[in-house]
Chain A
Amino acid sequence: MDLIFLFIASAVINNYVLTYFLGICPFIGVSRQLDTATSMGLAVIFVMTLTAAFTWPINHLVLAPYGLPFLKYVTFILVIAALVQLVEMFIRKTSQPLYLALGIYLPLITTNCAILGLALFMDLREYSFVQSLVFAIGAGLGFTIALVIMAGIREELAFARVPRALDGPGITLIVAGLLALAFMGFAGLGGTG
C-alpha cells in the first residue's frame, strides 16, 4: 500500500518537473513535438530505473560501509554517465529504429538533473531498494506526463498569437507555471515522495 502511495506521490503530487524543477532543460528544449517528447520520456524512465538499481547497491554496499560518503556525488555522476553510455550502445546494437528515434537525447540524459536528483533523493530519504525502484519509475512517469502535456500545449501554441517579447522560453515558462498551478490540485491526495 505504501508503495502505491509512493508511486502516485512521485508521479503527480511531487511532480519532478513542476514541483522540484528537475529536468527543466529537456522540458523546455524537447517539448516542441509530441512524438520526440514521448521518446524522451520513455528514455528517461528507462535510465532512471537503471540508475536506481545501480546507485542503491553502490551507495549502501560500497560507499557507506567503507566510510566514503564524500565520494557520493562523484560516484553517482560517473555511474550515470557510464549507464547512459551502455544503454546507448545496447540500443544501437539491438534496435536501430529506437536508436535513431532517440538520437541526441540519449547522451543528453547524462546532464539531466532529474537523474542525479533521483539518486540524491533516494539517499536523502533513505529509501529501501524496492522503494527506490518504485520511486524511480514513478518519478520517470511524472517527468513523461509533464513533458507530454507540455508538448501537446506547445503544438497548439505554435498557431497562437504570442506577444513578441514572450515568444520562446518566456511563454513556455508561463505555461509551465499554469501547469504547476493545476498540478497543485493533486496535493490533496496526500503522501510524500
Chain B
Amino acid sequence: MPRQPVPLRQEFLKGLWDENPTLVQVLGMCPTLAVTNSIVNGFAMAMATGFVLICSNVVVSLVRKLIPNQVRMGAYMIIIAAFVTIADMVLAAQYPDISRALGPYVPLIVVNCIILGRAEAFASKNGVGRSLLDALGNSCGFLVSLLVLGTVRELIGTGGLFGHVFWGETVHPWLVMILPAGAFLTLGSAMGLINHLVARREAA
C-alpha cells in the first residue's frame, strides 16, 4: 500500500459502499440483527460502535510498532474492551432507557468482528490519519446499514416511525418484522437486493 498511496477520499468512501462492513463483508452480524427493531436503537448502537471503532483504530495505529507480533490480538482486544467499557458507562449514565433497551449488546461490541477486523487489517499497517478515515468510513457504512434495516423493520413491524403510527387501523402492522425472524428476513433480502444492483451495474 505505501508504494501507491490510495487517495484519502477513497479511504473514507470504501467503508461506506464498496466494502460496507455489514452488507458486503457480512461482518458484525449480531448487533446488526439484534438492535434494528427500531430506528432509535439502531442509531444508538451505531454511535456506540462508531465511537469504539474510531478510538480503537487510532490507538492501535499509534501503538502498532510497539506491540510484539505474537500478542497483538490480545493487545487489540484489551484496547477495544477498554473503549467499550467507556461507551457502556457513558450510555448507562446519560441515556439509561437506551442502555436498557440495548442490554448486553453494548458490551458485546468487544467481540464485534468489524472492529477487530479493521484493527488487524488496516490500523496495524497504516498511519493514524488513514486509520481515522478508515474508521470513520466504516462507522458511517455501519450506521447507514443499521438505519436502513431499522427503518424498514419499524415501518413494517409497527406501522410507523419513531413511535408515531402512520396508517392507523387501515394497514395492519406485520409484527414478525420487529421479532427476531424479521431481522433475518430483512437483512437477507437487503443483501439480495445489493447483489442484484451490483450485478446489474457490472452487466451494463
Closest 10 CB pairs of A and B: A177-B184, A173-B188, A174-B188, A24-B29, A177-B185, A180-B181, A165-B196, A165-B195, A170-B191, A120-B104
**CB-defined contacts of A28 to chain B, threshold 8 Å:** 26, 29
B26, B74, B89, B116 interface centre (most CB from chain A within 10 Å)? B26
Could you mark each residue 104-115 of chain A with 1 if its beta carbon is under 8 Å from any beta carbon of chain B, else 0? Answer: 000000011100
Interface size on A, as a range, is: 35 or more
A70 touches B81 (CB 8 A): no
State whether the Cβ of B111 lies closer than 8 Å to any Cβ in chain A: yes
* Complex CA–CA separation, A177 to B184 (angstroms): 5
Closest beta carbon of chain B to A113's beta carbon, Å:
5
User: Other CB < 8 Å A-B pairs besides A28-B29, A111-B116, A178-B181, 13 of them?
Assistant: A20-B180, A21-B183, A25-B29, A73-B88, A77-B77, A113-B108, A165-B192, A167-B195, A169-B188, A170-B189, A171-B192, A177-B181, A177-B183
B contact patch SS? helix
**CB-defined contacts of B107 to chain A, threshold 8 Å:** 72-73, 116, 120
* Complex CA–CA separation, A114 to B122 (angstroms): 26
A117 touches B104 (CB 8 A): yes
Closest beta carbon of chain B to A158's beta carbon, Å:
17
Q: Of residues 42 to 92 in B, which have CB atoms within 8 Å of A's CB atoms?
A: 74, 77-78, 81-82, 84-85, 88-89
Q: Report which of B29, B104, B180 forms a contact with A124, defined as CB distance below 8 A.
A: B104
* Complex CA–CA separation, A166 to B188 (angstroms): 8
State whether the Cβ of B101 lies closer than 8 Å to any Cβ in chain A: no
**CB-defined contacts of B78 to chain A, threshold 8 Å:** 74, 77-78
**CB-defined contacts of B185 to chain A, threshold 8 Å:** 173-174, 177-178
Q: Which A residue sits closest to B108, measured CB to CB?
A: A113
Q: Of residues 173 to 204 in B, which have CB atoms within 8 Å of A's CB atoms?
A: 176, 179-185, 187-189, 191-193, 195-196, 199
Could you mark each residue 11-31 of chain A with 1 if its beta carbon is under 8 Å from any beta carbon of chain B, else 0? Answer: 000000011111111001000
B34 touches A21 (CB 8 A): yes
